[in-house]
Structure formats: structure tokens, C-alpha cells
Structure 1
Amino acid sequence: MMNTAIILAGGVGSRMGADRPKQFLMVQDKPIISYCFDIFQKHNEIDNMVVVVSEQWQGFVEEYAAKYGITKICGYAPAGKTRQHSIYNGLKCIEENAPDTDIVIVHDAARPLVSDEIISDCVKGATEYDGAMPVISVKDTVYQSKDGCSIGCLLKRSELFAGQAPESFKFRKYLDIHNSVSDEEIGLTAGSSEIAYRHGMEIRMVKGSERNLKITTVEDLETFESILKGVN
């Protein structure tokens, strides 16, 4: 069985307010994306990586990969106009460069602390079902409001889960769905798994982790730095 990871590194990180996309910010003398590369490079269930990245930053990634022995990268795909378009570009790159792929694992470059266990659970979930995604329980009370001012209803917390990445899918089924739908539907997709379950794929939830944070804000970056200091 061949498993290929798509590393999404095309985001601009506008909420961070930095001079470069968040995945390329330096933390302890390494770009954030490098922490993802190291994890997937060392994981024995990952055979290949495809990196979705803007043309402006592809050279940076290629230089880093060559310098630090990231040998699993089999191709690069251009960033799309939405996250799901970027995923589709990554899928087409796999079709061209690693067509024997069985399972595709979609991960955000801005999630640099994903564990080996979560990756393995996602691979297993996509092998036994059509796909898998890590989730964590929602701790806070959640209300629904149509106008953003008044409470409409209280949602049942025990039935609510926050999705994380990576998300894994049977490659051919996932690619076929993207090939069959309109460009508009791809663009309106909110999460990697949405388009899959909407078109009949059975997606398994696996255990995520609070530690598997996505770096979106300055506060997230500070949390990541604190965790690294604790590890080291």
C-alpha cells in the first residue's frame, strides 16, 4: 500500500501580520513548515509528499529539502484560489507523480506538532473506511445565533467535535469526486472532509490532540514556541 501526504503551504497568513506566510516564519532557526517535513519524512507509513506552495516560495522549500535530506517530496503543485482548490491541485500532482497511491493524507504546514499516532490512526481509518479525520471534544458551551446578537438555541456539546488535520482518504475515490464536481462546489467546500462525506464517502473520526494546534495568530505562535522550549 502506498500513502502520499499533501502538505498545504500556500496560505498567506494574513491574520499573523508578518512579513511572510506563517508556515515560513522561523522558530528556533527553522521554518515552521520544516517541523511538518521532519515528522512526515520519518514516519514509516508515509511514502511520498506533495507540497502545495506558491511559486514565490517553492524555491525556498526546494532548497530546504535538499539541504536537510527531505527525500520523500515527489512533486510540487501551485496554490489554488481556495484551500480546496489547493488540495485538488495536490491530488492532480499525485496522479502525475505517484499514481499508485492508495491513501492520501492532507495536512496543513501550519500544524507542526502532529503526532505519529494521529498520522497512523488516519492511515488506518482510511484503510478500513473511506477516510478519517482527527477530532477533539468541544469544551465550551456552544450557542447558535442567526443575527450574532441574540441566542437562538443551545447546541448539544456531547455531539459537537472540532476537526483537525491531517485528513485521510482513499485516493481514487477522493480524486474522482473532485473531477466530477463543478469548480464552484470545490470553492465552496469548507473542509477537506466535507466534499467527501457529501458525496457518500464514509469518514471515520479518530482521536485528535489539543497539542496538534494550527498556527493562525501570534498567540498560537507563542504557544508553539513555549511547547518547543518545554521539549528541549
Structure 2
Amino acid sequence: MMNNVIVVAGGKGLRMGSDLPKQFIPIGGKPVLMRTIEMFYNFDNNINIILVLPLSHQGYWHQLCKEYNFTVSHKIATGGETRFHSVKNGLDMVDEGIVAVQDGVRPFASREMICRCFNAAHDFSAVVPAIDSTDSLRRVKADGKSEIIDRSQIRLVQTPQVFHVDILKKAYKTEYKTTFTDDASVVEFMGTDIHLVKGEVTNIKITTPLDLKIGELLINSI
């Protein structure tokens, strides 16, 4: 089956405290977004890569590709009003097979974990990597009081989230809801069960200056 990945990169970098969107910030001498794309190319050099970018960022991306001599083949879709609409636009460039949806600023998933997600997707309709919570958790109730949550029942969700193409396309025909926080939530709304696979604590999302420093340490430890 054809492997596809939609890399969603619409961040404005507000939490990073930078004028440069976080997906374009260099880490280990290369923009974060390029590392994310290369991660999937190294998994499967025939994979169909769709990069979803706001129209206002596309010129700068082309400039970066020339500057860094970035030649990994990929298509570009234009981002939408929300992440939901951006993924929907990317799906228009996918025809068949298995499709992953990936945060553009999550560049450290191992090849083994990506394989684990794609392999599981052949047996299940919807696959999500997740890790255990190591922190204590509390739920804030309507009256303002809080109560403990059993963390053994909690998993922290990551990407890539991987699906049969027809399942994801069907799910994205529904109307947008603010409760759609990721692709799994859209698919689950349509009645499809979500299968969890083992994620990685190093599969971090680059959203703050601290994340950049951790990412540099990860690169230097490879």
C-alpha cells in the first residue's frame, strides 16, 4: 500500500517569542521542518510527502530550500483557518493507501516508532502513538475545586497519527468542531476506535525556547 504523510506546519511561533515561525527555526544547523520531512523520507524514500503551509509562508519556504539545498521531494498544500482545515486541504493530495498526519515541529520520532505506527495501521483503521504520564494529574471541576486523576488510565498523545486513507477522508467530511484537537478526535467522532501504540519520550514537539535546547541535546546525542 502507498505510504503518505501530511506534515502540518502552520504555527506562528507565538510561544517561541520569535518573529520567525517555529517550524523555520534552525536546530542543529537545519530548520526544524526540514528535519521533520527528512524523518519520513528516511523511513520510506518513496513516501508521498504533502507539506501544508500558510500561503504567506510558502515563498520563504522555497527560499530556505534553495539556501539549504533541500531536495527531498514533496508537494505543498495551502493551510486553512484551523489545523482541521489544513489537514483537509492536504488530504486532497492523497489518493490511496496509508496516511500519517505529523506535526511539522515534531522532528525526533525514530524510524522504529514510525515503522511501528505504519505497520499497526495495516491491521487497524486508526493508530496513535502515546506515552505514559509521569506527572500527577488533577481535574478542575465546575465548582472550581479539583480532584486527583488516576494517571495509570492517562496517555499523552503524539504524532504521527496514522490511518487508512478512506477512513480519514470520510472523517474529514464532517463539519469542524472546536473539540477536534487532533486527527484521532475527528476519526473517533465518526465512530472509529483508536488503537494506541508505544510512543517515545524523545518525540518532543518544539514549541518553546526550552524545547529548542532539549532538541539540540537530542541531536548531539545521536
Q: Return the TM-score normalized by structure 1.
A: 0.88
Distance 1:65 1:37, change over 3 A: farther
Contact 1:76 1:93 in 2 (8 A): no
Report the AA paired with residue 219 of structure 1: L
Contact 1:3 1:45 in 2 (8 A): no
1:166 is matched with which residue: 143, 157, 160? 160
Report the AA paired with residue 164 of structure 2: K
Query: Comparing both structures, which one devotes a greater share of its residues to helix?
Result: 1
Distance 1:168 1:195, change over 3 A: same
**Residue correspondence of structure 1 range 71-82 to structure 2 within 5 A:** 71=73, 73=74, 75-82=75-82
3-state SS of paired residue (2:11): coil
Measure, in 2, the Cα distance between the counterparts of 1:211 and 1:143.
Answer: 24
Q: Match for residue 227 of structure 1?
A: 218
Deviations 1:123-171 (A, max 9, x none): 11211010101000011111111259532x2211111000000100111
Measure, in 2, the Cα distance between the counterparts of 1:203 and 1:114.
Answer: 20
Measure, in 2, the Cα distance between the counterparts of 1:19 and 1:63.
Answer: 17
Report the AA paired with residue 213 of structure 2: E
1:93 CA displacement: 2.6
Deviations 1:48-78 (A, max 9, x none): 100000122223334555622202x1x2111
Q: Match for residue 42 of structure 1?
A: 42
Q: Match for residue 138 of structure 2?
A: 143
Measure, in 2, the Cα distance between the counterparts of 1:85 and 1:22.
Answer: 20
CA RMSD of aligned residues (A): 1.8
Contact 1:16 1:217 in 2 (8 A): yes
3-state SS of paired residue (1:93): coil
The runs of at least 4 aligned residues of structure 1 exceeding 2 Å deviation read 59-69, 146-150
Q: Match for residue 2 of structure 2?
A: 2
3-state SS of paired residue (2:145): coil
Distance 1:148 1:135, change over 3 A: farther
1:111 aligns with 2:106: yes
Deviations 1:22-54 (A, max 9, x none): 010012321111111211112127621000001
Measure, in 1, the Cα distance between the counterparts of 2:45 and 2:150.
Answer: 37
Q: Match for residue 86 of structure 2?
A: 86
Q: Match for residue 196 of structure 2?
A: 205
Q: Return the TM-score normalized by structure 2.
A: 0.92
Q: Match for residue 70 of structure 2?
A: 68
Report the AA paired with residue 145 of structure 1: V
Contact 1:45 1:120 in 2 (8 A): no
Identity %: 30
Measure, in 1, the Cα distance between the counterparts of 2:60 and 2:48.
Answer: 19
Question: Any unmatched runs of 5+ in structure 1?
Answer: none
Deviations 1:96-115 (A, max 9, x none): xxx2x211100011001011
Measure, in 1, the Cα distance between the counterparts of 2:85 and 2:46.
Answer: 23
Q: Match for residue 196 of structure 1?
A: 187
Report the AA paired with residue 212 of structure 1: N
